[in-house]
Structure 1
Amino acid sequence: MKDWFLLYCKRSEQERAVINLDRQGVECYYPQVNVNKIVRGKRVEISEPLFPSYIFVYFDPEHLSYTTVRSTRGVADFIRQGARPQMVQQELVYGLMMNENCEVHQAKLSSLPIPGECLQLKQGQFKGIEAIYQEADGEKRSFMLINLLGKPVKVSVENEDIVKD
């Protein structure tokens, strides 16, 4: 009986792992999100993995062994609970598939400031301090460059703590 499992891949080798797993008949899924980035001085929209280095796989362990899947090029190992690979609930994976192209989620990520933009922090320990946006730090946090005691310091803050000037 087929089940969903979560694999951890070698750094930046998700694509390679998916190609090699597909050749073995393993169904793969890794959610992606479109984000706006500046590449070579131009703003472009690119797809990035929602969970970098992780892939959901759907296969029957009775027909294809865990060792075969784990030994696939690009794969590091299964996410485990004890000695056995941890199964993932189907509802979770199908929910991610349905929400992957959700416009609200896309708009939330694309509304982030551009790197170098001056902002003011509205909450938290750095409330009222002006900062320079550096980059996103996951979905809900961002790296900001603030000036403390005359030295620029890179800090990670919640996205809702940011006020655009």
Structure 2
Amino acid sequence: MSEAKWYVVHTYSGYENKVKANIDKTIENRHLEDQILEVQVPMQEVIEMKNGVQKASQKKMFPGYVLIHMIMNDDTWYVVRNTRGVTGFVGPGSKPVPLTDAEMASLGIRRENIVVDYEVGDTIKVVAGAWADTIGVVQSINMQKQSLTINVELFGRETPVEISFAEVVKM
């Protein structure tokens, strides 16, 4: 198994899961389980924030690419290269280049990306916390702290207040 390395295969956009299924089926039919060990479509969990509700979803880390852990020989190269939806291996010319251990280790890092549907200048309503039912204008967004700064009227003056993403909805 020491010869098995990770290779990157380029696919048609949106065909990643079909390519994985087709290669898995071919491995089973041709009994290549000991040569093509794993086929993977790297996914990443992304948290989207819409109207104050957090929603987790899976997104492809590398759209258009599939990772394959295999022993490279003429049979495995032919099987993968001639799978429907595969455009080729990543590497110069027709020579596939395996990923290094360092490259594979960096792929293991899964960061949650938060996507918010409001931006600076939007009017929002606070629905929770000490400022509930307050309406304000977004002045800045801090992705690290998952908060925004809004201007609210306090004692007749505009005052900046920091609010969590989970406590606001877009107007």
Q: TM-score range by the shorter chain?
A: 0.5 to 0.7
**Deviation of the 1:45 alpha carbon:** 1.5
Q: Quick one: distance in 2 between partners of 1:10 and 1:118?
A: 34
Listed one character per residue, the Cα deviations across residues 15-41 of structure 1 (whole Å, up to 9, x for unaligned) are 1111122221431123211113479xx
State TM-score, norm by structure 2: 0.55
SS at match of 2:75: coil
Counterpart residue type for residue 85 of structure 1 = P
**Deviation of the 1:6 alpha carbon:** 0.6
**Deviation of the 1:74 alpha carbon:** 2.7
Q: Which of 1, 6, 30 lines up with 1:4 in the alignment?
A: 6
Listed one character per residue, the Cα deviations across residues 42-77 of structure 1 (whole Å, up to 9, x for unaligned) are 753210111111111111122633232011123221
Counterpart residue type for residue 4 of structure 2 = K
Contact kept in structure 1, 2:15 and 2:64, CA below 8 Å = yes
In the alignment, structure 1 segments of 5+ residues that lack a partner are: 120-129, 132-158
Q: Which residue of 1 aligns with 2:119?
A: 118
1:57 aligns with 2:68: yes
Q: CA RMSD in A?
A: 3.0
Q: Quick one: distance in 1 between partners of 2:79 and 2:99?
A: 19
Q: Where do 1:79-98 residues align within 5 Å?
A: 79-97=90-108
Contact kept in structure 2, 1:118 and 1:164, CA below 8 Å = no
**Deviation of the 1:8 alpha carbon:** 0.8
Q: Which residue of 2 aligns with 1:28?
A: 39
State TM-score, norm by structure 1: 0.57
6 and 38 in structure 1: CA distance in 2 versus 1, 3 angstrom threshold? same
Q: Quick one: distance in 2 between partners of 1:83 and 1:75?
A: 13
Q: Which has the larger radius of gyration?
A: 2
Counterpart residue type for residue 119 of structure 2 = C
Q: Which residue of 1 aligns with 2:169?
A: none
SS at match of 1:52: coil
Aligned length: 115
Contact kept in structure 1, 2:17 and 2:41, CA below 8 Å = no
SS at match of 1:85: coil
Listed one character per residue, the Cα deviations across residues 97-153 of structure 1 (whole Å, up to 9, x for unaligned) are 3x23xxxx22xx12x4x22x122xxxxxxxxxx68xxxxxxxxxxxxxxxxxxxxxx
